Structure 1
Amino acid sequence: MGIKVLVVDDSMFFQKRISEILKPVASVEIIGFANNGKEAIEKAQSLKPDVITMDYEMPVMDGLTALRKIMEVAPTPVLMFSSLTYDGARVTLDALDAGAVDFLPKNFEDLQKGGPKIRETLSDKIQSVAKQFNRSPKARFTPIQTELDSDKRKGESQPARPARQLESKLDKPLASQPKASATSRFEKNTKQDTRLPTLDLIVIATSTGGPVALQKVLSQIPASFSKPIVLIQHMPATFTQAFAERLNKTCALEIKLAEDGDILKPGRALLAPGGKQLLIEKSKVRVIDGDDRVNYRPCADLTMASAAKHYPGKSLGIVLTGMGSDGCEGAKLMQQTGSPIWAQDEETSVIYGMPMAVAKAHITSAILPLQDIGPTLVKEVR
């Protein structure tokens, strides 16, 4: 029996197309449909699916309300279908806060055409979530508390490309540096070394599960934090502006969608825009279009490689929850210059892919639960 999927959408066309697209995928089995949020809650309990795909605009009960209830009564990995608009981004971010694992663009043109590409995208997402999803309540199912309508709280505390190929995408290769000793932190019960050298920059990379993880980490950092931060989150271009605004409202730090030439300064976090590449230079960032040779836009490997070049031994790389291994090759370059690398632990990761990659590469100096990353960062930088 394949991965059991419940499709929740009020559109019969959408239900039919999803069924047709996934029918050839032997490892995925659609076990039912729900036409509204109320039916979704009932079928989540009775059918016990492995994954739920959820629309948010439905009669009787909307998807967001249903999602919150499902997280209470029958916790299940949920993939939200979202329109690629600013309003769609805001609703999707609400859904991620409420417990959804990830989202998929609801593009009717793509659905009508079908074909191998959308089948691969949809089936890969479903299979990855079902296979790797960590059902621990530490990783998911606890809705994050947000204060989007309140004043900002000031003062509160794909396969990776080889590292040498990343260097070739920068203006000049990295200077030759002696390789720092790499102690494995992948084995359990290994002592953590969170001590930091003198730093000038923090780089945080994440993907699936990242919007909630970033919000939890950044909300624990005060406005007086003395180092600049760069954020790499895999996200469509139409979503990153809404995400930056959301973070800026809920965190004490100044959080801004990065623009070409933005200055790196204390108390500010720059979020890489979707569909672009962010490169770090001395005291500022460059935002460029990039090209098809790189799997992700933004790509954590490229950003971290540029940090290794311009801040050798003076930056901290932090890799959070996410599918795949983006960030691992860039983190290797950072670590080779003497910069420390932290990773989120498996128990609190929604998807233990990206942090596992750096842990298995034996380049981490510490593997930490999500709730400890912000406070430890503040303590050690101070």
Structure 2
Amino acid sequence: MIRVLIVDDSAFMRKVITDLLKKMNGVEPADIARNGKAAVDYLAAHDDIDLVLMDIEMPIMNGIEALKQIKQKYSTPVIMLSALSNKEITIEALELGATDFVTKPVNLTAIERDWTRDLERKIKGSQMKKNERLHPTIERDKKLRREVALKEKKTDVELNRGVHALVIGSSTGGPRSLLTVAKALPRKSKVPIFIVQHMPKGFTKSFAERLDAECGPHVVEAQDGMMVEPNTVYLAPGDYHMTTDGIKIYLNQEPKLHGTRPAVDYLFKSAAKAYHKYLVAVILTGMGHDGADGMVEIAKNGGYNFAQNKETCVVFGMPRAAIEKDVVNEVLGLDEIATKVNRIVR
């Protein structure tokens, strides 16, 4: 049972969330707190909370200040409740270590089923790393470690043939990981970089601006028909799948794939056709298996695949899925990936 502490200054919001959690299998609303200070004090007195679901704007102590204190003292995952008006603050929360966020529903009296499913998926996904540690699939993990050890013996020789593009996919924990990669990029990139981060509409523009502030190459939220240029990072906008033919970027609103739009597989598969053996792909932390099928296509076309290792992932789902398909060339820690990416694009 996942015990959740609900932190919000709105009594109505606390009631709505409490009622929703009671309907989720394996989830229990443990208690409530009316502000960030009350949440921090509660965690100091209780060691049975598995997740904090916390508002950003609150009196006495806001969600950002509470998050900082929680991450300093505890390993408890925190999911932020965010309003569209708090886009920049939400991105800051992710950078500070929030596991994920959900946008507050516009109409609390008629919450959409998709919103409830998304909240449940994120709550349960926040516990995946702990569950793997407590209940490891021993034989599968041994097999993965053997495969990873063999693949990590490969050298950079396979990349010394010229790279024409880099694609990156990420989900839960991705914003913080992407910022690490962005900070390591050289002042100029000889190739275009395409990123799909699972993030809802309204937040990707702020995230692109945050990445741009840390990045040598220019970072933009992609637009349909945009010409592909070197030394530019293209971030897929929320609620749109992004593809490329190597000349232009195309956006579409085809049905959600793996429950999300944008989906990594759309980008990876299109880039595999466009760049063939001159493509390098990176799959970072995230729930589910988005990106794995795309990496299969990249491998078939002669491209090179990296995956983030289990130890540095918030959730190992997406990298694991790609590794299990035997299409990942190297599995590395986040800092090692950042270093590799720097070498590849310079």
What does residue 28 of structure 1 align with?
A: 27
What does residue 98 of structure 1 align with?
A: 96
The amino acid that maps onto 1:122 is L
SS of residue paired to 2:239: coil
The amino acid that maps onto 2:22 is K
Scaled by the length of structure 2, the TM-score of the pair is 0.90
Give the conservation status (yes or no) of the 8 Å contact 1:4–1:31. Answer: yes
SS of residue paired to 2:150: coil
Which shows bigger deviation, 124-133 or 27-36? 124-133
Distance 1:265 1:121, change over 3 A: closer
Task: Tell me, in whole angstroms, the C-alpha distance in 2 between the residues paired with 1:373 and 1:205.
Answer: 13
Task: Tell me, in whole angstroms, the C-alpha distance in 2 between the residues paired with 1:360 and 1:135.
Answer: 16
Q: How far does residue 123 in structure 1 lie from its aligned partner after superposition?
A: 2.4
SS of residue paired to 2:286: coil
What does residue 17 of structure 1 align with?
A: 16
1:329-380 CA-partner distances (Å, limit 9, x unpaired): 1110011011011000000001111111101111010001001112112224
Q: In structure 2, list runs of 5 or more residues that go unmatched.
A: 134-142
What does residue 218 of structure 2 align with?
A: 254
Equivalent runs, 1:1-382 vs 2, <5 Å: 2-48=1-47, 49-83=49-83, 85=84, 87-109=85-107, 111-114=108-111, 117-132=114-129, 187-192=147-152, 193=154, 195=156, 196=159, 197-292=161-256, 295-381=259-345
Give the conservation status (yes or no) of the 8 Å contact 1:45–1:73. Answer: no
Task: Tell me, in whole angstroms, the C-alpha distance in 1 between the residues paired with 2:127 and 2:54.
Answer: 15
Task: Tell me, in whole angstroms, the C-alpha distance in 1 between the residues paired with 2:98 and 2:178.
Answer: 15
SS of residue paired to 1:4: strand
What does residue 141 of structure 1 align with?
A: none
Task: Tell me, in whole angstroms, the C-alpha distance in 2 between the residues paired with 1:328 and 1:344.
Answer: 13
Q: How far does residue 46 in structure 1 lie from its aligned partner after superposition?
A: 1.6
1:32-64 CA-partner distances (Å, limit 9, x unpaired): 111011101011222221000000111111010
The amino acid that maps onto 2:150 is T
Q: How far does residue 292 in structure 1 lie from its aligned partner after superposition?
A: 5.0
The amino acid that maps onto 1:208 is T
Task: Tell me, in whole angstroms, the C-alpha distance in 2 between the residues paired with 1:245 and 1:45.
Answer: 36
1:97-121 CA-partner distances (Å, limit 9, x unpaired): 1110000111141x32257554433
Q: Report percent identity of matched pairs.
A: 35
The amino acid that maps onto 1:247 is L
Give the conservation status (yes or no) of the 8 Å contact 1:244–1:255. Answer: yes
Distance 1:380 1:247, change over 3 A: closer
Task: Tell me, in whole angstroms, the C-alpha distance in 1 between the residues paired with 2:119 and 2:144.
Answer: 35
Give the conservation status (yes or no) of the 8 Å contact 1:344–1:370. Answer: yes
Task: Tell me, in whole angstroms, the C-alpha distance in 1 between the residues paired with 2:284 and 2:257.
Answer: 24
Larger helix percent: 2
Q: How far does residue 133 in structure 1 lie from its aligned partner after superposition?
A: 5.2
SS of residue paired to 2:172: coil
The amino acid that maps onto 2:76 is T
What does residue 155 of structure 1 align with?
A: none
Task: Tell me, in whole angstroms, the C-alpha distance in 1 between the residues paired with 2:241 and 2:121.
Answer: 24
Task: Tell me, in whole angstroms, the C-alpha distance in 2 between the residues paired with 1:118 and 1:90.
Answer: 21
SS of residue paired to 1:343: strand
Q: How far does residue 216 in structure 1 lie from its aligned partner after superposition?
A: 0.4
Scaled by the length of structure 1, the TM-score of the pair is 0.82
Distance 1:17 1:184, change over 3 A: closer
Task: Tell me, in whole angstroms, the C-alpha distance in 2 between the residues paired with 1:26 and 1:307.
Answer: 39
Distance 1:348 1:309, change over 3 A: same
1:122-158 CA-partner distances (Å, limit 9, x unpaired): 222211212335999xxxxxxxxxxxxxxxxxxxxxx
- RMSD of Structure 2 on Structure 1 (CA): 2.2
Q: How far does residue 312 in structure 1 lie from its aligned partner after superposition?
A: 1.1
Give the conservation status (yes or no) of the 8 Å contact 1:304–1:327. Answer: yes
SS of residue paired to 1:190: helix
SS of residue paired to 2:272: helix
Task: Tell me, in whole angstroms, the C-alpha distance in 2 between the residues paired with 1:308 and 1:379.
Answer: 21
SS of residue paired to 2:310: coil
SS of residue paired to 1:363: coil
SS of residue paired to 1:237: coil
The amino acid that maps onto 1:207 is S
Give the conservation status (yes or no) of the 8 Å contact 1:38–1:60. Answer: yes
SS of residue paired to 1:311: helix
What does residue 179 of structure 1 align with?
A: none
Q: How far does residue 76 in structure 1 lie from its aligned partner after superposition?
A: 1.1
The amino acid that maps onto 1:100 is A
Task: Tell me, in whole angstroms, the C-alpha distance in 1 between the residues paired with 2:115 and 2:344.
Answer: 45
Q: In structure 1, list runs of 5 or more residues that go unmatched.
A: 137-182
The amino acid that maps onto 1:33 is I
Q: How far does residue 16 in structure 1 lie from its aligned partner after superposition?
A: 1.1
Q: How far does residue 227 in structure 1 lie from its aligned partner after superposition?
A: 1.3
Give the conservation status (yes or no) of the 8 Å contact 2:236–2:262. Answer: yes
Counting matched residue pairs gives: 332
Q: How far does residue 283 in structure 1 lie from its aligned partner after superposition?
A: 2.5
Q: How far does residue 194 in structure 1 lie from its aligned partner after superposition?
A: 5.0
